[in-house]
Structure 1
Amino acid sequence: FHNTLDIAQAVRELQAEGWKTEPEDLAEVSPYLTEKIMRFGEYSTHELDLAPEAYEPHLDVDFTKLDPQDPAAAS
């Protein structure tokens, strides 16, 4: 989930700089990394009682282009 938050923040920063974000671009980015991951490795637990900041799920990207059910996506 943290990787997804980092990717979303990077996209927002690029958009703020004027970069146009296409859904195809985001389809190539995966938040699930499999290299150099310690799946059951060492994790800090001393901050578990800290509440995270509110999550803003909205990205200004038109994902309808990727919807195979949408007839407008084929055009």
Structure 2
Amino acid sequence: MGKSVYVNTKPTVISVRVTDEQMEEVKRLMEKMKMSASDIMREAFFQFADKVERAGRLDAIRAAAMKCGEARRRA
């Protein structure tokens, strides 16, 4: 028999401090979207991560376009 392997099935908890105004907005969204505060924060995280990823791709496209433009000017 092999050694048993422990697998952590509990999600990681992240705490975040928000202003009273930000918390009011979270509460408003909770009611409107029928979602928990955790679900709203997870959705916000994924939207932010997607935005950053898209911005990175746009930066790469811009850099490639500039390189191409410079090569054409030299030719």
Question: TM-score scaled to structure 2, two decimals?
Answer: 0.24
Structure number, greater radius of gyration:
2
More helix by share: 2
- The one of the two structures with greater contact order (alpha-carbon pairs below 8 A, sep at least 6) is 1
